[in-house]
């Protein structure tokens, strides 16, 4: 039997991408679609992606076909929803439009209530789409807080689909702290009740994310380690005790990487392509970048980099302070990213204090990001928490050893270089303090000067298979479990 899966998300690459959710929603459903299409192991899944028709998608010039419209009910009466269809590698993709969405607002508005109206409407509309298409949904997969309302609306009976049995639900958790607070009025206006279940703390009973987590048949965190961490006070954001009651339905599946885009052998952004068999060519990228950034051009000076959204989650302050502790050693650093002004200024002051060895590039620059992965020796990822993380996988694939905090998906993807290198691919540190970061960085900087060891670390990382296929199969297994339960 084919499993029909409706995959709903706030963003998906290549249509629109703000963060890691966009990477996942743009590649996981396609990976599942492709496995199913090739029908390698009878895993028949008809998966379809649904997105809000954001202004940003329209601006990019995508021209989907208008299929028609239907109504979403609010307490003030019906609100029209227009349905558009396109495809991504043969997988059907729907864009839903309507008044709460088509304002010229970004994917995530600064005012919570605007996002509340947009995403509550979208979540309900995504369910309405199934009836509009007359397409049976077996599994509904929602992502993060934005679409959690769809799960909750189904499970509370606020929405009932016109099909004999209601869909099973899967809630994928990419980022627990973002719960969707401040949208209560939108819940009221769409007739969504707050939860009464005492198992949830009182403060969490009106926010979409906890309500999705409360009612989903299964919860999948984006890495096995994060699935465990959310049960602890440090990472559970106050929901740890509640989540423990759901632990038999929580699992972790690691995100994958688009290995076609991220391939140093073919990446068109690089000065010089290379692979595991031509690793010696890699340093040409470093020399090129050093000269472009007016740094001393010497392969034997370790180049460290950081490419990130400048968000407190990412712990960039830890790396910046940590680098200062290591200024008795030779290194150069190029920092790329934009976001929080306080963090941006910390990066600028580092460059001001070390003008001969630091460059801070405060912007979003995808081409430069590719070049940094291919040039630097060390990639810094001192995240305070990291549900999965993508950059560490990219850096390893490009032969750039990550230094990362031992949290979330970083633990699941990076093999710490212990005294014997063995299969080590990078460096993990425990507590998020600059001094702890610095001591690991110092060790990495010393190892950089031992070419044989360093080459082994690079090759170990480059050889890991981070492709989506394995994870996509695990999601298909979850769909099967849901259907059979
Ligand atoms: C969020 C998390 C990140 C994860 C991404 C995709 O952005 O912070 O760790 O990789 O979602 O799941």
* pLDDT (0 to 100) of residue 465: 95
pLDDT (tens digit per residue) in 175-201 = 999 999 999 999 999 999 999 989 999
* pLDDT (0 to 100) of residue 416: 98
- Whether the CB of 255 sits within 6 Å of ligand 1: yes
Query: 359 pairs with which residues across the strands?
Result: 334
* pLDDT (0 to 100) of residue 189: 97
- pLDDT of 225 over the 90 cut: yes
- Whether the CB of 315 sits within 6 Å of ligand 1: no
* pLDDT (0 to 100) of residue 41: 61
* pLDDT (0 to 100) of residue 173: 98
**What Rg value do the Cα atoms of the chain yield, rounded?**
23
- Whether the CB of 387 sits within 6 Å of ligand 1: yes
Q: Are strands 378-381 and 401-405 parallel, antiparallel or unpaired?
A: parallel
- pLDDT of 478 over the 90 cut: yes
Q: With the C-alpha atoms ordered 149, 150, 153, 159, is the resulting torsion angle positive or negative?
A: positive
Averaged pLDDT for residues 234-254: 98
- Whether the CB of 19 sits within 6 Å of ligand 1: yes
Listed residue (306, 435, 283) closest to 374, CA to CA: 283
- Whether the CB of 413 sits within 6 Å of ligand 1: no
- Whether the CB of 180 sits within 6 Å of ligand 1: no
- pLDDT of 43 over the 70 cut: no
Question: Sorting pLDDT into bands at 50, 70 and 90, what band is 58?
Answer: very high
* pLDDT (0 to 100) of residue 303: 98
- The CA 53 to ligand 1 mean position distance, Å, reads 22
* pLDDT (0 to 100) of residue 40: 62
pLDDT (tens digit per residue) in 129-140 = 999 999 999 999
* pLDDT (0 to 100) of residue 420: 81
Question: Sorting pLDDT into bands at 50, 70 and 90, what band is 419?
Answer: confident
180: left (phi over 0), alpha (psi -120 to 50) or beta: left
Question: Sorting pLDDT into bands at 50, 70 and 90, what band is 42?
Answer: low
* pLDDT (0 to 100) of residue 411: 98
Question: Sorting pLDDT into bands at 50, 70 and 90, what band is 241?
Answer: very high
- The CA 388 to ligand 1 mean position distance, Å, reads 5
Listed residue (137, 129, 165) closest to 3, CA to CA: 137
Spatial separation of the C-alpha atoms in residues 401 and 417, rounded to whole Å: 10
pLDDT (tens digit per residue) in 337-395 = 999 999 999 999 999 999 999 999 999 999 999 999 999 999 999 999 999 999 999 99
- Whether the CB of 212 sits within 6 Å of ligand 1: no
Spatial separation of the C-alpha atoms in residues 176 and 212, rounded to whole Å: 12
- The CA 298 to ligand 1 mean position distance, Å, reads 35
Residue whose Cα lies nearest atom 12 of ligand 1: it is 174
* pLDDT (0 to 100) of residue 212: 98
Percent of the chain with pLDDT over 90: 94
* pLDDT (0 to 100) of residue 38: 82
Q: Which atom of ligand 1 is nearest to the CA of 226?
A: 9
Residue whose Cα lies nearest atom 5 of ligand 1: it is 20
Average pLDDT, the chain: 96
Averaged pLDDT for residues 119-128: 98
- Scored b (16 or more CB within 10 A) or e, 416-440 reads ebeeebeebbbbbbeebebebbbeb
End-to-end CA distance of the chain: 15
Which segment of 100-114, 286-300, 310-324, 417-431 scores lowest on mean pLDDT? 100-114
* pLDDT (0 to 100) of residue 417: 97
* pLDDT (0 to 100) of residue 332: 98
- Continuous segment of H or E residues that includes residue 173: strand 168-173
Spatial separation of the C-alpha atoms in residues 169 and 157, rounded to whole Å: 13
Percent of the chain with pLDDT over 70: 99
**Tokens for 224?**
């096995």
* pLDDT (0 to 100) of residue 302: 98
- The CA 384 to ligand 1 mean position distance, Å, reads 13
């Amino acid at each position: 039997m084919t499993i029909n899966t409706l995959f709903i998300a706030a963003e998906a690459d290549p249509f629109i991408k703000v963060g890691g959710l966009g990477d996942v929603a743009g590649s996981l459903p396609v990976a599942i679609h492709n496995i199913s299409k090739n029908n390698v192991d009878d895993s028949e899944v008809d998966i379809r992606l649904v997105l809000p028709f954001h202004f940003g998608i329209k601006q990019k010039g995508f021209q989907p076909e208008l299929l028609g419209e239907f109504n979403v009910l609010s307490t003030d009466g019906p609100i029209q929803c227009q349905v558009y269809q396109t495809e991504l590698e043969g997988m059907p993709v729907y864009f839903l439009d309507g008044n709460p969405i088509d304002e010229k607002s970004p994917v995530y508005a600064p005012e919570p209530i605007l996002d509340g109206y947009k995403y509550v409407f979208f979540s309900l509309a995504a369910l309405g789409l199934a009836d509009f298409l007359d397409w049976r949904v077996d599994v509904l997969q929602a992502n993060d807080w934005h679409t959690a309302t769809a799960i909750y609306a189904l499970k509370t009976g606020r929405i009932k689909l016109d099909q004999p049995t209601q869909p099973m639900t899967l809630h994928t958790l990419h980022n627990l702290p973002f719960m969707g607070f401040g949208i209560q009025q939108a819940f009221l206006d769409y007739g969504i009740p707050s939860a009464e279940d005492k198992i949830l703390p009182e403060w969490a009973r009106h926010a979409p994310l906890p309500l999705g987590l409360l009612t989903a048949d299964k919860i999948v965190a984006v890495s096995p380690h994060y699935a465990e961490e959310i049960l602890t006070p440090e990472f559970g954001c106050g929901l740890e005790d509640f989540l423990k009651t759901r632990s038999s339905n929580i699992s972790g599946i690691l995100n994958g990487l688009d290995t076609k885009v991220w391939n140093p052998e073919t990446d068109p952004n690089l000065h010089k392509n290379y692979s595991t068999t031509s690793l010696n060519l890699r340093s040409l990228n470093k020399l090129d970048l050093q000269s472009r950034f007016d740094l001393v051009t010497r392969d034997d000076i370790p180049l460290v980099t950081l490419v990130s959204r400048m968000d407190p989650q990412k712990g960039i302050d830890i790396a910046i302070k940590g680098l200062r502790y290591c200024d008795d050693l030779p290194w150069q650093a190029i920092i790329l990213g934009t976001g929080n002004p306080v963090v941006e200024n910390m990066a600028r002051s580092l460059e001001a204090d070390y003008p001969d060895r630091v460059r801070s590039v405060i912007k979003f620059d995808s081409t430069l990001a590719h070049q940094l992965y291919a040039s630097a020796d060390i990639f810094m990822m001192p995240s305070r928490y990291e549900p999965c993380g993508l950059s560490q996988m990219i850096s390893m694939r490009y032969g750039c050893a990550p230094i990362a905090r031992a949290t979330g998906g970083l633990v699941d993807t990076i093999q710490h270089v212990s005294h014997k290198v063995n299969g080590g691919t990078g460096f993990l540190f425990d507590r998020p303090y600059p001094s702890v970061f610095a001591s690991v960085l110092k060790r990495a900087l010393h190892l950089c000067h031992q070419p044989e060891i360093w080459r082994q670390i690079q090759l170990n990382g480059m050889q890991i298979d981070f492709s989506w296929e394995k994870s996509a199969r695990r999601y298909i297994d979850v769909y099967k479990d849901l259907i059979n339960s």
